[in-house]
A = this chain, B = another copy of it.
Amino acid sequence: MNIGEAAQESGVSAKMIRYYEETGLVPKPSRTTSGYRSYHHSDVHRLRFVGRARDLGFSMEKISQLLLLWQDRKRPSREVKKLAQLHLDDLQRQIQRLQEMHNTLQHLVDACQGNSRPHCPILKDLGAE
């Protein structure tokens, strides 16, 4: 299976497949005599795993660890849960940070008349001494 089809099947773009290969997240596939990458079902499976983990916001670094656990039939689920919990905490921190920005800005926007006059609490706040 060529890279295009593997991309289709896995939902990961050909560009990203090459990049994941370069960074070692997925193994180098074999090549046809003309140099085309050739993928098996198991490769696609792995790519789909990576894609799903990306959809959940996992970094490539963390995905690399998840892949190791995925491959390890003797992993303690504790390890997986710990990794996932770390990422949950990451997400929570990001959400909180954005939420704080949103709250602050919402207050300013609410206080702004939004008419033809120049007075504006938003600019006033940003430009406060």
Contact = CB atoms under 8 A, between A and B. Distances in A.
A116 B76 contact: yes
Quickly give the copy total for this chain.
2
Contact of A84 (B85, B88, B108): B108
A71 to B, nearest CB: 10
Interface residues of A, number: 54
Given A113-B77, A122-B80, A122-B84, A56 B98 contact: no
A99 to B, nearest CB: 6
A105 B118 contact: no
A91 to B, nearest CB: 5
A73 interface: yes
Contacts of A125: 52
A56 B101 contact: yes
A30 interface: no
A35 interface: no
A123 B69 contact: yes
Nearest to A102: B91
Contacts of A106: 88
